[in-house]
Amino acid sequence: MPHRPDPAPAPPPEIGALHERVLRFYAEQARDLPWRTPGVSPWGVLVSEIMLQQTPVLRVLPRWREWMERWPTPGDLAAAPPGDAVRHWDRLGYPRRALRLHAAAVAIVEQHGGEVPADHAALLALPGIGVYTAAAVAVFAFGQRHAVVDTNVRRVLARAVTGDAEPAPALTRAESRLAEEVLPDDRPTAARWSIAVMELGALVCTARSPRCDACPIADLCRWTRRGRPASTGPARRGQAWAGTDRQVRGRLLAVLREAPGPVTPDILQAAWTTDPVQRERCLDSLVADGLVEPLEDGTFTLPRTR
């Protein structure tokens, strides 16, 4: 049977009011975050977007400030060993992001004269930069008109426009088209809308406890008008942590980050004694991911070269 493309939901008739309310909400209640400060560099925006992936703002704030003080430009980071990026990523989680950011810094230096490119296609071509991050940097750093679609945006549009309690488990083409359709035509307004609707999802239209009584678009929201029906999709399970490979990898990396030099196998063995097979599997995966470098003398260290 031929594949039928997902139908795009029609934008709400109150689109002008939706824009006005959400933009006013942002003007009055937006969080004061350093990467939103006027004059912040495109590099600062790029660093924030990588750090904020699957990580709460409160955890990112001190690490972003420390990172920008240590490496205020792509050239500063590119000149450092990739292991330094992993070390100072500390406990933000998903440490491969540190290596991707280091690789992007190197590419920016080698291909763009050390300046983060404004061109969307050039951003997307940087190593480790996906569709969302390229759009976010183009919009938030350079004021361009692109749909920036993260989990918060998807949830707001699912509720306000399509009337669903939650978006689909993964981004659909219909959602992407809808996000494009509701963008204001004016570039500066579109850029501000992109961050405003994201902020609404982060502060008010939250996943577990939406504050509909405080929502500036509650009377326009189709989900609210329908009586806030429960999601009909599969139940979403929280990610387990205790005993997982993620926990083991985190333990091993913590030992390497805190060590002044290469670490012997017995020290790594002591970091996780519950399951030696799991520990070795996780160590192998860290080496395969480029997060750990095995040395000829049998010791291990954070990566020293790119």
49 in active site: yes
Annotated active-site residue in 28, 49, 180, 280: 49
CA distance 161 to 243: 40
Structural contact between residues 231 and 159, judged by C-beta atoms closer than 8 angstroms? no
- Residue 19 is encoded by which pair of tokens? 């824009």
CB environment 66-104: b (16+ within 10 A), e (fewer): ebbeebebbbebbebbbbbbbbbbbebeebebbbbbbbb
Structure tokens at 211: 């504050």
Q: Which residues contact 145 (CB under 8 A, 6 or more apart)?
A: 139, 183, 187, 190, 191
* Residues near 162 by beta carbon (within 8 Å), at least 6 away in sequence: 9, 178, 222
Of 70, 206, 54, 23, nearest to 132 (Cα)? 54
- The CA angle 146-148-59, to the nearest 5 degrees, is 145
DSSP track, 122-148: HHHHSTT--HHHHHHHHHHTT------
Residues taking part in catalysis: 49
